[in-house]
Chain A
Amino acid sequence: GAGVSQSPRYKVAKRGQDVALRCDPISGHVSLFWYQQALGQGPEFLTYFQNEAQLDKSGLPSDRFFAERPEGSVSTLKIQRTQQEDSAVYLCASSPTGGGRTDTQYFGPGTRLTVL
Chain B
Amino acid sequence: GDSVTQMEGPVTLSEEAFLTINCTYTATGYPSLFWYVQYPGEGLQLLLKATKADDKGSNKGFEATYRKETTSFHLEKGSVQVSDSAVYFCAHGGSQGNLIFGKGTKLSVKP
Interface residues of A (CB under 8 A from B): 4, 31, 33, 35, 40-45, 48, 55-56, 58-59, 91, 93, 95, 98-110
Q: Assuming A41-B104, A110-B43, is B96 touching A105 (CB within 8 A)?
A: no
Q: Which of A55, A101, A106, A109 contacts B42 (CB 8 A)?
A: A109
Say yes or no: B103 contacts A41, CB within 8 Å. yes
Contact B98 A42 (CB under 8 A): no
By Cβ-Cβ distance, the 9 closest A-B pairs, closest first, are A102-B93, A42-B101, A107-B44, A45-B98, A109-B43, A56-B96, A102-B32, A107-B43, A42-B103
Closest to B92 in A: A102
Residues in B lying within 8 Å of A, measured CB to CB: 4, 31-32, 34, 36, 42-46, 49, 51, 89, 91-104
The A interface is mostly helix, strand or loop, or mixed, namely loop
On chain B, the residues within 8 Å of A104 by CB distance are 34, 46, 49
Residue among A33, A40, A41 making CB contact with B98, cutoff 8 Å: A33
Question: Does B32 lie within 8 Å of A56, measured CB to CB?
Answer: no
A-B contact count (CB 8 A): 72
Contacts of B95 in A (CB 8 A): 100
Is the beta-carbon distance between B101 and A100 smaller than 8 angstroms?
no
Q: Which chain B residue has the least Cβ–Cβ distance from A58?
A: B96
Known contacts A102-B32, A104-B49: A42-B93 contact under CB 8 Å = no
Q: How far apart are the CA atoms of A4 and B70 in the complex, in Å?
A: 35
Contact yes or no, A102 B31, CB < 8 A: yes
